[in-house]
Amino acid sequence: MDKSMYDIVIVGMGPAGYTASIYASRYKLKNQVIGKLMGGLIGESHKVCNYPTEDEISGLELMMKMQQHAKNLGASELYEGIVDIQRRTDGTFCLTTEQGNKTYGRSVLLATGLKHRTLNVPGEQELRGRGVAYCATCDGFFYRNKTVAVIGGGDSALSAAVYLSEIAKKVYLIYRGEKLRGEPAWIDLLSGSEKVEILCNTNVTAIHGTNRVERIDLDQPYNGASSLNIDGIFIEIGAEPDRTLISSLGLETDSKGYVVVGPDQSTSLDGVYAAGDITTASNYFKQVITASSEGAIAAQSIFSYLSRQTGVRTSVETAKTIKVRV
């Protein structure tokens, strides 16, 4: 048995990836979870309040629980980014990391999640990390008693504004639409905060600062001015699939770049499955619980896929007879 060959290589360390690992281990599939950072985007979330059994938990804590569960069942982990996946002539896969290391699998599960969208306005890239941020939980601490802006009108923006209102002196929530579109519970929390001011029908057109963010330009005047003095800006306008591995594998996608999957989470390439926020499944409902569900389905489907392969056995001693006492 080739010890370097995994039954399933899971690319992505978010809810879909770790749930798939948990199920894969219970199916006795040798599995490896690979990613640059544990947790995915949910790991950056200040609060998760809709995951069963957890009235309120930070995204990072929830992901640490999933990770530990997977590790307890025997999952292998590799903290490196994958830059290339090639299907070999024997039907197995070779995955290459940014460091040039290689790992091999009889099947691959893409659970890479999404990446932050950007505003694409002048000053954004120049001041990234110097007042321009995409994670309130990660960087909010640095803005204690300061003035910040949060851009967006969905749940990620609203939860970021709630979190920052507990730290900052003033929070401007700026949204291009007529009204916020997040969960009513988040909107209620913001409406009751004296620190938060909501600016709708407004876009940020530029970000200015010498060494750090100092002000932003608006396309609608605020108190008679076209700019707003702030110390930091948190861009929470959603996320989109990272197409790098999707494109290199030639997987079928929809018009927005999401991987088209079947009911079993299979993709257009035999042996490659996808789960979580990068897929067209779950009615595009991007939640921890739907990502976990897809990860579980993918693991079961891969178990069935490997069982069907002629001459291919999983990495457990499948030749042994399982005796059941009745």
Enzyme catalytic residues: 135, 138-139
Rounded to 10 degrees, the C-alpha dihedral 164/123/174/226 comes to 120
| 8-11 and 114-116 strand pairing | unpaired
Distance CA 276, CA 281 (A): 8
Distance CA 266, CA 302 (A): 9
Distance CA 301, CA 180 (A): 39
Strand positions, DSSP E, the chain: 5-6, 8-11, 31-34, 76-78, 82-87, 93-97, 102-105, 108-110, 114-116, 132-133, 147-151, 170-174, 196-199, 204-208, 215-222, 225-229, 232-235, 239-241, 272-274
CB neighbour list of residue 93: distance below 8 Å, 6 or more residues apart: 9, 85, 86, 87, 104, 105, 106, 107, 108, 271, 272
Distance CA 247, CA 268 (A): 12
